[in-house]
C-alpha cells in the first residue's frame, strides 16, 4: 500500500467486512487454459503465449494479447491428434509451469453455460468480442505434470483415505469424480451414494420488493424444521469443515434473476424415505453498512424438493415454485396432523411437491415455476433405471414376504416373469453397474422359487442377461468366447445360498427323493397358490433334440458306475410326477420336492417339511435341471453362452462340496444320483448339438468351436471333482 497512513484503517474495514460477509461468495473473474496445448508441450494459450525454458525443464507461459511464436491453429492440432495419441500424451507429456497474468471480469448477467461456451469459442480465435471483456490484472501460477503411479495422501470423492496414507503430516489430495459422456460398463465394486446438486437459475423479476443480492441456502431435511431436522450430509467447500448441514450459493450483486454455477455434493443416506427432501431458502444479503439492527440476511422465498418418490430417487432437471413465506406446518404431507409422527407416514399419504397448492399459502409470481435445479446421482444403491428398479422391488417383496408390487391386478407369477425378462431392456450403464446383485437375485429365485415356474423363468432371464452383457462387451472375449467380466464374477463374486442340512450321498436310499423346500412360507398377501408340482406345470419342456437322441430314449443301454449295476436313467429329471423310473423298484421318482408347498405329500406318502430349516436343492443341481428341461429361446441362449453355465455349474458344485465338507470324501459319494443322471443327459444333449451343427449345410464355425471347447473344458473340470471313471464313460 502506497499510503502507509491508511493501512490500519483499511485493515480494520477489511476485518469488519469479513466478519459480516465472510460466509458469502461472489463470482469475480475467470480465465481458461487449453489442456491440449499443455499436453502438446506448448505451455500457454494459443492466442497469447510466450515460452521460456530454464535448466529445470519447465516452461512458463504469460498471457498477452499477441503470441511471440507462430504456431499452427488449434483446429489443425486437434486434427493431428488421435484418441490413442492423446491418451499416451497424458501420461508422458513434459511437466510445465504456467503463469497466467490476465483474467476476465465475470459479468453478473452472463453466467449461463451458453455464455461461457461462447467465450471459450472466442478465445480460440481473435475476435472483436474479446475486446468488450474487461481484463483484470493478476497472477496465477500452475504446475502441471503427469500423475504419478503411486499417489500418497489421497482421498476418495467420499473423503475416505486411500492407501498409501502413511501419516498425518502430508497434505491430502482429493480425487475428482469423473462424469463420462457414456456410463462405464463396469460393476460397482465399492459403496457410493452421492448426489450432485446444481442450482441453475432463479427468476424473481416479478417479486415485489427490492431484493437484489440473492443467495440460496441448501439443506437436506428429514422432517420440517430447518433448524433441528437438517442432516450433516453436505460436503463443505475448501478451507471449511468436511461435512456441514447447510451450503450457500454464490451471490450475484444487484441481480433479481441470478444464474448459478455452484456444484453441491451431498452424501445421501443409505435408506431414503418420503420425508427426506431438499429445502431451499432464499435470502437478500445486505452488503452496505446500515443501522446496527439491520440483519445481514433477509428471507425472501422458500421451496423444497422431495428426493424419494414412489420408491425411486428422483433426478434430472426440475422446476420448482417458490413460496413468499415459510411453508405451513405439515407441508411435507397431505394432512397437517402427520407432523407429529416420528416415523414415515402410513400407506396412502404421499410427499407433496411445490407444484401442489398448499392451503393459505402465498406463492411468488402466481405459483409459476421460478427455480431451476439439476440433480445428478452417483449411487451404487439406486439404479436409476426403471427395469432394474422394478425387478429389485419384486425381489425385495418376495424376501420380506409382503404383497408383491403388481400393476392393474396382474398375476404375480406373470409380473415376476415380465420383470425378470425385461432386465435385458435396461440401459447399459445401470445394467453393468448392478450386474452382480441382479445375477444373485436370479440365482436366488432359481433355488428358492416362490411358485413352480419361477425357476424356469429365472433360468431364462439369466441366459438373456448373460447374452446382453456379452453383446455389450463383445470386444472383451477370449478365443473361446468367454467374457472376462462374467468369468470374473463366477470365480470371485458368485455367492451361493448354502443348504441347511447335508444332502444325501450319491447312491444312498434317500438320494432319489430329497426333501428340498422353500426356506420361507408364502405370504397370504401375495395371493400365490401352489397347486402343481414342477413337472405337471411344465410337461412340454423336453426338447425335440433330446427326444431324437437314441441314448436318451433308451436309458437302459448304459449303467451308472454308482448305481450298483442299475441301468442309468437319463430322463429322470424330465419325467412327470408319478411316472416310474426304470429299475426303481416300482417307486415313482419324485422331482417336484423343491416346489411343493407345505402339506403336500412326497413320494411314498410322507409329508414334506416346510420352513426356514427345511431341505433345499443346491444351486448346481437346480441349474443343471433347468438347463436339461429348457426349451425355446432359453435353450438357444444357454447354448450360445454354454461356457458361462458350465463354469457356473462346476463352481457352484465345488463350493457346495466345500460347504458340506465333502471335498475330501470319496468321489463316489460326493454327488447325488440325480445329479449324475442330469450330467449324462446334458453331455449327451450338447454332444448331439455339436454333431448336428457340424453336419449342417452352412455350419457357423465360431459358435460351433465355442460350444465344443466349452464342453471339453467342462469335462476336464469334472475330472477334478467327480468320479473319474464316471466322467470317462460320458
Give Cβ neighbours of residue 1 (< 8 Å, ≥ 6 apart): 7, 10
Q: 305 and 373 in contact (C-beta within 8 Å)?
A: yes
Q: How far is CA 18 from the centre of its chain?
A: 43
Q: State residue 497's pLDDT score.
A: 61
Return the pLDDT at 631: 92
Q: What confidence category does residue 701 fall into, taking pLDDT thresholds of 50, 70 and 90?
A: confident
pLDDT for 61 beyond 90: no
Predicted confidence (pLDDT) at residue 100 exceeds the cutoff of 70: yes
Q: List pLDDT tens digits, range 322-367.
A: 999 888 876 665 433 333 333 433 332 236 788 887 777 889 998 9
pLDDT tens for 152-169 read 999 999 999 999 999 988
- Highest mean pLDDT: which range of 406-420, 432-446, 551-565: 432-446
pLDDT of 409: 66
CA-to-CA distance for 630 and 512, rounded, in angstroms? 21
**Apex CA 228: angle with CA 224 and CA 232, to 5°?**
105
SS3 percent helix, strand, coil of the chain, rounded to 5, is 35, 15, 50
| DSSP code at position 490 | I
Which residue did the predictor score with more confidence, 698 or 577? Answer: 698
**541 band by pLDDT with thresholds 50, 70 and 90:** very low
Biggest distance spanned by C-alpha atoms of the chain: 115
Of residues 207 and 581, more confidently modeled:
207
E-only strand ranges, 160-315: 161-162, 173-174, 193-202, 214-222, 234-235, 243-244, 247-248, 264-267, 276-285, 297-306, 308-309, 312-313
Whether the per-residue pLDDT at 137 is higher than 50: the answer is: yes
Pairing status of strand 154-155 against strand 96-105: unpaired
Per-residue burial over 200-237, b = 16 or more CB atoms within 10 Å of its CB, e = otherwise: bebbbeebeeebbbbbbbbbbbbbbebeebbbebbbee
| CATH number assigned to the domain with residue range 193-379, chosen from the 4 options 2.60.40.150, 3.40.250.10, 3.40.50.1860, 3.90.1300.10 | 2.60.40.150
Identify the pLDDT of residue 41: 66
Torsion of Cα atoms, 265 then 268 then 273 then 276, to 10°: -30
Cell of 512: 432319489
**CA 589 to CA 603: how far, in whole Å?**
7
User: Can you tell me the distance from the alpha carbon of 390 to that of 406, in angstroms, rounded to the nearest whole number?
Assistant: 10
Q: Which residue has the cell 480494520?
A: 12
Nearest to 710 by CA among 632, 650, 630: 650
Where are the chain's structural domains?
11-147, 193-379, 384-528+537-730
Confidence of residue 451 (pLDDT cuts 50, 70, 90): confident
Which residues make beta-bridge pairs with 299?
283
Q: Using one digit for the tens of pLDDT, what is the confidence trace for 493-516?
A: 887 664 443 334 334 433 333 333
**Where does the pLDDT of residue 488 fall: very low under 50, low under 70, confident under 90, or very high at 90 and above?**
very high
DSSP labels for 29-47? EE----HHHHHHT--S-SS
| pLDDT average, residue stretch 123-132 | 73
Question: How far apart are alpha carbons 624 and 626 in whole angstroms?
Answer: 6
Q: What is the mean pLDDT of the chain?
A: 76
Sequence-distant (≥ 6) Cβ neighbours of residue 355 within 8 angstroms: 321, 369
Average of pLDDT values for 420-424? 94
Amino acid at each position: 500500500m502506497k499510503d502507509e497512513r491508511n493501512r490500519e484503517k483499511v485493515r480494520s474495514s477489511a476485518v469488519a467486512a469479513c466478519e459480516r460477509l465472510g460466509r458469502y461468495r461472489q463470482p469475480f473473474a475467470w480465465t481458461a487454459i487449453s489442456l491440449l496445448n499443455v499436453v502438446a508441450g506448448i505451455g500457454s494459450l494459443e492466442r497469447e503465449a510466450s515460452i521460456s525454458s530454464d535448466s529445470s525443464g519447465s516452461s512458463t507461459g504469460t498471457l498477452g494479447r499477441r503470441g511471440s511464436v507462430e504456431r499452427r491453429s488449434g483446429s489443425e492440432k486437434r486434427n493431428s491428434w488421435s484418441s490413442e495419441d492423446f491418451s499416451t500424451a497424458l501420461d508422458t507429456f513434459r511437466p510445465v509451469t504456467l503463469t497466467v497474468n490476465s483474467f476476465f471480469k465475470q459479468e453478473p448477467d452472463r453466467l449461463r453455460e451458453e455464455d461461457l461456451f461462447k467465450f471459450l469459442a472466442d478465445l480460440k480465435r481473435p475476435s472483436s468480442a474479446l475486446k468488450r471483456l474487461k481484463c483484470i490484472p493478476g497472477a496465477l501460477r500452475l504446475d502441471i505434470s503427469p500423475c504419478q503411479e503411486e499417489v500418497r495422501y489421497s482421498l476418495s470423492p467420499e473423503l475416505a483415505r486411500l492407501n498409501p496414507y502413511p501419516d498425518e503430516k502430508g497434505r491430502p489430495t482429493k480425487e475428482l469424480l469423473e462424469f463420462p459422456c457414456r456410463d462405464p460398463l463396469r460393476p460397482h465394486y465399492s459403496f457410493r451414494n452421492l448426489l450432485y446438486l446444481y442450482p441453475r437459475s432463479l427468476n424473481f423479476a416479478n417479486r415485489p420488493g427490492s431484493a437484489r443480492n440473492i443467495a440460496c441456502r441448501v439443506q437436506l431435511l428429514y422432517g420440517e424444521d430447518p433448524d433441528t431436522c437438517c442432516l450433516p450430509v453436505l460436503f463443505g467447500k475448501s478451507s471449511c469443515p468436511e461435512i456441514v448441514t447447510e451450503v450457500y450459493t454464490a451471490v450475484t450483486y444487484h441481480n433479481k434473476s441470478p444464474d448459478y454455477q455452484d456444484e453441491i455434493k451431498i452424501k445421501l443416506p443409505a435408506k431414503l424415505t418420503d420425508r427426506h427432501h431438499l429445502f431451499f431458502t432464499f435470502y437478500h444479503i445486505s452488503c452496505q453498512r446500515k443501522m446496527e439492527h439491520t440483519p445481514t440476511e433477509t428471507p425472501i422465498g422458500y421451496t423444497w424438493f422431495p428426493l424419494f418418490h414412489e420408491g425411486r430417487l428422483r433426478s434430472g432437471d426440475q422446476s420448482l415454485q417458490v413460496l413468499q413465506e415459510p411453508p405451513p406446518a405439515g407441508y411435507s404431507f397431505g394432512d397437517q396432523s402427520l407432523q407429529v409422527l416420528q416415523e414415515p407416514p402410513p400407506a396412502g399419504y404421499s410427499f407433496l411437491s411445490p407444484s401442489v397448492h398448499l392451503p393459505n399459502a402465498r406463492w411468488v409470481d402466481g405459483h409459476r415455476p421460478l427455480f431451476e435445479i439439476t440433480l445428478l446421482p452417483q449411487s451404487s444403491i439406486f439404479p436409476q433405471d426403471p427395469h432394474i428398479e422394478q425387478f429389485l422391488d419384486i425381489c425385495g417383496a418376495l424376501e420380506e414376504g409382503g404383497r408383491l408390487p403388481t400393476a392393474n391386478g396382474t398375476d404375480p407369477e406373470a409380473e415376476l416373469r415380465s420383470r425378470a425378462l425385461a432386465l435385458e431392456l435396461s440401459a447399459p450403464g445401470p445394467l453393468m453397474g448392478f450386474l452382480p446383485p441382479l445375477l444373485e437375485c436370479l440365482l436366488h429365485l432359481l433355488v428358492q422359487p416362490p411358485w413352480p415356474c419361477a425357476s424356469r423363468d429365472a433360468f431364462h432371464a439369466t441366459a438373456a442377461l448373460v447374452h446382453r452383457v456379452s453383446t455389450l462387451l463383445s470386444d472383451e472375449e477370449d478365443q473361446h468366447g468367454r467374457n472376462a467380466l462374467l468369468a470374473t464374477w463366477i470365480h470371485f463374486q458368485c455367492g451361493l445360498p448354502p443348504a441347511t442340512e447335508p444332502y444325501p450321498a450319491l447312491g444312498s436310499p434317500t438320494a432319489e427323493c430329497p426333501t428340498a423346500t422353500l426356506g420361507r412360507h408364502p405370504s397370504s398377501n401375495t395371493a400365490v397358490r401352489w397347486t402343481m408340482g414342477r413337472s405337471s406345470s411344465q410337461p412340454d419342456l423336453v426338447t425335440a433334440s433330446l427326444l431324437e437322441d437314441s441314448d436318451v430314449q433308451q436309458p437302459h443301454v448304459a449303467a451308472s458306475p454308482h448305481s450298483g449295476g442299475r441301468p442309468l436313467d437319463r430322463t429322470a429329471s424330465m419325467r412327470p410326477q408319478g411316472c416310474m423310473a426304470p429299475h426303481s423298484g416300482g417307486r415313482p421318482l419324485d422331482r417336484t420336492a423343491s416346489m411343493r408347498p407345505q402339506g403336500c405329500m412326497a413320494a411314498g406318502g410322507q409329508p414334506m417339511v416346510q420352513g426356514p430349516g427345511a431341505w433345499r436343492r443346491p444351486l448346481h443341481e437346480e441349474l443343471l435341471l433347468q438347463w436339461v428341461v429348457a426349451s425355446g429361446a432359453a435353450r438357444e441362449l444357454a447354448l450360445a453362452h454354454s461356457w458361462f453355465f458350465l463354469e457356473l455349474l462346476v463352481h457352484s458344485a465345488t463350493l457346495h462340496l466345500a460347504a458340506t465338507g465333502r471335498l475330501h470324501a470319496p468321489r463316489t459319494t460326493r454327488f447325488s444320483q440325480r445329479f449324475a443322471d442330469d450330467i449324462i443327459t446334458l453331455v449327451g444333449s450338447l454332444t448331439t448339438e455339436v454333431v448336428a451343427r457340424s453336419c449342417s449345410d452352412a455350419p457357423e464355425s465360431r459358435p460351433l468351436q465355442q460350444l465344443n471347447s466349452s464342453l471339453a473344458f467342462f469335462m476336464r473340470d469334472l475330472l477334478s471333482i467327480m468320479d473319474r471313471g464316471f466322467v470317462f464313460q460320458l
